Amino acid sequence: MSMSANQKKFLLKEKKNRRFVIFMQLLIIITFLILWEVLANKKILNPFIFSSPTRICLTIKNLFIEGSLISHITTTLYEIFLAFFIGISLGFLIAILLYEIKTLAKIVDPFLTMLNSLPKVALGPIIIIWVGANTKAIIVMALLINLIVSIVNIYNGFLGTDEIKIKLLKSFGASKIQILRYLVIPGSKRTIISSLKLNISMTLIGVIMGEFLVSKKGIGYLIIYGTQVFNLNIVMAGIVILIILSFIIYEGVSLLEKKLLQGKN
């Protein structure tokens, strides 16, 4: 089916708009980096405290040559994806349980709110005592941050299911499992997929917080190490690497979201 002239015009306009947005984003980043470099070279910004783009690139290059950079990145990525899959899986299962057992949902609701508002760093020493100063502590810390968010988001998505459709299926003799499988979960697909993006962000925060506390390897450890030896170039390099990783992971989840939602349509 051929497109009309108005459709072609609209798509062309959208394409130009996307290009303009990308161009402006790149322009802002490049301008910021150039301005940062110039101010650091002119000593307007103290390069020892604020570093500079060239110093950061040189530090990343040296870490790569030393062979430690890849090890730090792979360690952090392993912890992120492990905590992410555990968190989203448990969140999905617990959300189903709360949806099916309304009384249980009412009982645990205030506890979920309290746990969600609790500063997770305060639990760091307790986590270390419980599971040890190892990768398990990092995963537990990440789960404390991402799990409750996943439960609440997915559960609220389930609650948004059209009650009329539920009553219609019940009138045809559908069981709770059938309603859940064929109506509630598919109807909440957009919410579930969107919760992946929030979950991965929370997981990243949790993993870095955990690495600050106990890790001997990873991006979080790299940042803490740079602080301890008062090498701000390492600290800034770790932050830059973390920003790049978070962008790549977020874009990967966004791409998955688009594909799954296209499949829905």
Residue-wise pLDDT tens digits, 126-174: 888 888 888 899 999 999 889 998 999 999 989 988 888 888 888 888 8
CA distances (Å), origin 105, targets 30, 111, 119, 236: 49, 10, 23, 44
Q: Report pLDDT for 2.
A: 56
> Cα 99 from chain centroid?
25
Q: Report pLDDT for 123.
A: 83
Which residue stretches of 101-188 are H helix? 102-117, 124-131, 135-159, 163-171, 176-179, 185-187
Query: What is the value of pTM for the model shown?
Result: 0.84
CA distances (Å), origin 46, targets 39, 42, 50, 177: 8, 9, 6, 63
Q: Report pLDDT for 16.
A: 84
Residues of the chain with pLDDT under 50: 265
